Structures are given as C-alpha cells and as structure tokens.
Amino acid sequence: SPPFPVPPFFLSGVNMSEVATQVFAGQKPGTSGLRKRVEEFMQDHYMENFIQCTLEAMGNDLPGSTLVVGGDGRYGVTLAVDKIIKMAAANKVSKLIVAKDGIMSTPAVSNVIRTQKTTGGIILTASHNPGGQNGGDFGIKFNCANGGPAPTDFTDKIYKLSCEIKSYRICNNLQCDFSKVGTTTFVVDGSHDFVVEVVDSLDDYVQMMKDIFDFGMIKDYLKSVKILVNSLHGVTGPYAERIFGSELGAPADSFLKTNILPDFGGGHPDPNLTYAADLVKAMSEGDYAFGAAFDGDGDRNMILGAKAFFVTPCDSLAVIANNLELIPYFQKNPVNGYARSMPTSAALDRVAQVKGKECFETPTGWKFFGNLLDAGRIALCGEESFGTGSDHIREKDGIWAALAWLQILAARKQSVEEVLKDHWATYGRNFFTRYDYENCESDPCQKMMDELQAFVDDSGNIGKVFTSQSGKSFEVSKADNFAYTDPIDNSITTKQGIRVFFSDGSRFVMRLSGTGSSGATVRLYVDTFEGDKEKQTKSAAEMLAPCIEVALQISKLPTYTG
C-alpha cells in the first residue's frame, strides 16, 4: 500500500445494459463452486450467465451490498474480475473490494469478508485443479457473510436460476484499473454510486497470522533449522515469501515456485507427493528440517519432515489438535471441539476422546464445518484432502497449517518425525491412504456405486469374511451410505459415500467426487488402526495392502474402470 491516502476518484457516464442470453447446461456448483474447462468458461455469455445467477441468488441482500473479489492468478482471473466489476455495478452492488491484479488467496478472501463485515465474496479459483489457456480449469465460487463457502441451498438457487436465465445486466462502458491500490466511485445511470476499492491483501493476512502465532519464537527456531516452501506457482507465493522470508527470516533458498503463473508452470497445483515431487526430492537429498507445499488458491497444505518424512493430512490434523495449547491464539480462545470430513481417518477422534472434546464427522466439503464453527462447537477442522483450518476464518488455510506446525516444533523442540512417533505411541496409528481415479467414464462408475449400494442394502453381508492373497482376513462389521444431520440447523445430507467397516477397525470408503471439471473421479479411501508400537513404524504400503486388496474385491473397481 502507498504511504499516503489515495484520493477517491468519481467517474460518471456509466450505463447499464440488459444483454439477452441463453441457458448453458451443467452450471451446477459443486462443493466449492463451479469448475469447468477454460474453453467452456470462455464461451460467449457463459461466465456472465453464472455471475448473474450468483448475484441474483443473493436475493434481497444484493442491492446495496458490499462484496469482495479475488482469485488465485490462474488464466481467466483478470478477465473474470473485469466482468464482475461491470456486472456488480449493473446489479446495484454498493461496493466491491477488489484484490490488486485480482490476486488474493482463498483464506485471505475469507479474512477480508469477516474483518470488513461484507455481504460476501466471489473467489475465482479451481483450487488444486490445473490451469492455463489450453486444457486448464477455471472456477467461480461464492462465500457468504461468515467468510465460508455458500451452503447447499444457496448453490441450488444459483443452479435453478442458471436453468431459467434469459438475460444478464452489465455496464460495458465501465473501465476500472485494478492493477493499482486505490478507490474509485462510479455513477451508474446517473442514479446510484458504485465504489471499487482495490486492495493489497498481504498486510491484513500477515497481521492475522501474527495475532495467532508467536512469530518471535518461530523466528528463533528458524535460526537453527532450514525449511523449504513450495507454492507450486500458485497464489501463496507472495504470502510465503513475506511471512516465512521477510517476517521469519528464512533465506532466499527456502522457496520453490513462488512466482505466480497463469498455468502454474504447466504443473498440477495440488500439494501431494505426486505433484510436489520436486519438494520431496529436495527434502530427501538436502538437510531441511521442515517442508511445506500449498495448492493453487492457498487453502491446502502438505507437511514434510527431514528426509521427506511424510505427514498424512489425517495425522497432521490430529497432531495439531493434540498441541493446540502451544499456539497463543488458542491459549486465549476456548477450544470446545474438533471436526473432520467423513473420509478422514479417526486419528482426530482419539485425541478428542482423551481431551474430552466433541468431535464431529461431516460430509466432504468445507461448507459443512461452517455452522459448527459459527456456533462455537469446534475450533479446529480438517480433511484428508490436505485441508486444515481453524475458527480464525471460515476456509481451510495452508499457510496457517504450516505455521501451526512450526509453532509446535519450536515449542516442543522436536523434529517432525519425533512429534509423530510420540503421537502414535500415545494414541495408536491410523494408517491411511487414498486413491484417485480421474476422468473415468461416468456410466460404469455409477454402475459400480449402484452395486456397492446393493452390497450395503444386503444385511447378509454383515459377518461375511473376505481374504487377501497374503492370507489376512477381514470380517464385515457394518456397511452404509454416509448421511449427516447438521446439529445446528438440522439439515440432512445423504448419499455421501459408501462405507464398509471391518471388525479389526479397518474400513474403506468409496465415493464419486464433484471437484473435477469433466468425467467422473472415483475416490477410494482405506484406513486401518494399529495399536501395537512395534508395527506403528512399518510402511503404510505394507500395512494397508491387504485391506486395499479386499476393497478392490468388494467394489470390483478394476472391472468397472479398467
């Protein structure tokens, strides 16, 4: 931000136009908005249709509203920001807080919505999906006044409107330069003012992190160890350099891929062992004590210890829960409970049981944590899909998770591996893995899910024994299709994934995911508990192999997907 107040500018002569359009099939938002291929989003009127329907879904809250707009820097963000500014003006939005150059991480948008008490915000991202003009994905999602993703009834409204839309409103002659911080007021149709405030989100986000963590302690810790942070050419690059570098003193060679690129450098901005392989290699070969990777829009994280010791997101969530009292924010704010998504392992549940806290199991999708957070029932939540967060905002937050780990390491004076081994010795270890089968043909996948539902419905399968080639047997103890009743508003969400439990504490979950942009994505989750300390340090591959084999036997996944 400039060191002096930027004077507001007043521009008149902006006119609203009503543009005729046609319905585009398939504009149904998933758990985190609408995600489609770039070429689909860039069709004439396609983006405008969805923006109009999103604004209209606000109903009576739309006229006079204040909204935040920001995105992850992928191809299409600047075009979408320009359209949103023009359309917000035409739809009688009072004020738009716009990220400079359109760049603002998803957690930072949530923070601005909450601190500025806005009506909501529009986030331009397809999260961990690839980007770029050729073959990349684009996405738009709406966050409500609490800073969290829109609930199902809101996204259903958007979809209903998208099936009926005949025209959209836009101020085509409105020109707004959002590359510079400052405030401009436009007079629309000579009748109402429309304010655009262009902001740089870094300062607010950095201050929030300083209010949560002890930066002094972490800075002292980083004097004695090396860290490596990989932003995968996503939005977190500037945030990571500022926080871990300028604020905490990590040298310049502590960063990988922190320059934002519209196609993420041709990579897949998903912070896992496959897509952050360069981080894994560097950690394996170097003398780094801690590593972290973040996804395209900054809400996901992967944590590594020395020599690329991998912390599963399930274990990461449980370890943070077990050590929350080491973080200053939670020393001041009471922690009543935790929550995890259904596919996430039960490692968190064991911490909750020992600490006497509530622990909730919710459907996949961060929006399901919102009511629990707003009601003060939980302070920490997370998903196996590399998402971790707390009640400081209403989104998962990758940089927050990395700082939480650094705070824990600095306070405990232990390595990542030592923290994990101590945790397993206390609570036992949940071995966990997930397989993603992407861009599968939809019909065979649906047939597979129908067959699994038939397996669930047949009570004769309880007690049935399945045996792996290694000779290990699994007896079915329970099977269901997960359903959730929200304890705050009593809303019911059904058919969230087939679960098959075994008598030894193992289980597998199978679900079709809504985060892809085309075809079907099948997700298989396998989870097994081990209380024997001698076996807790064995490889996950070895410990999970028999249960994975039985999961494939029961689901017939290879037969249906090839």
Label residue 380 exposed, middle or buried (CB < 10 Å: 0-12, 13-18, 19+): buried
- What is the Cα–Cα distance from 533 to 429, expressed in whole angstroms? 9
Q: From CA 299, how far away is CA 401, in angstroms rounded?
A: 9
484 Cβ contact list (under 8 Å, min separation 6): 342, 361, 362, 363, 368, 492, 493, 494, 496
Q: Is residue 19 a contact partner of residue 51, using CB atoms and an 8 Å limit? A: no
Instruction: Pick the closest to residue 306 from 291, 324, 317 (CA basis).
Output: 291
Task: Write down the H helix ranges in 19-105.
Answer: 38-41, 46-56, 77-90
Question: Residue for token digits 């150059």?
Answer: 101
By the 10 Å C-beta count (0-12 exposed, 13-18 middle, 19+ buried), 6 is classed as middle
Question: What are the Cα distances from residue 6, in Å, to 13, 98, 183, 433?
Answer: 22, 15, 7, 52
**Two tokens at 267?**
């990579």
Under 8 Å between Cβ of 169 and 16: yes
Q: How far is it, in rounded angstroms, from Cα 261 to Cα 160?
A: 34
- Which amino acid, 536? Q
Query: Token pair 């037969």 is at which residue?
Result: 559
Distances (CA, A) of 219 to 52, 224, 226, 258: 46, 9, 11, 20
Alpha-carbon distances, residue 175 vs 172, 185, 187, 494 (angstroms): 8, 11, 12, 46
Of the candidates 16, 18, 50, the one whose C-alpha atom is nearest the C-alpha of residue 33 is 50
- Of 315, 228, 310, 241, nearest to 541 (Cα)? 310
Report the greatest alpha carbon distance in the chain: 79
Q: Among all chains, which residue has been given the structure tokens 């529009």? A: 122
In degrees and rounded to multiples of 5, residue 55 shows phi and psi of -65, -45
Q: Return the number of other C-beta atoms located less than 10 Å from residue 150's C-beta.
A: 23
At residue 209's C-alpha, the angle toward residues 203 and 215, to 5°, is 110
Burial readout 160-190 (b: 16 or more C-beta within 10 A, e: otherwise): ebbeebeebbbbeebebebeeebbbebebee
Q: Which residues are catalytic?
A: 127
Q: How far, in Å, CA of 234 to CA of 125, rounded?
A: 10
SS3 113: helix
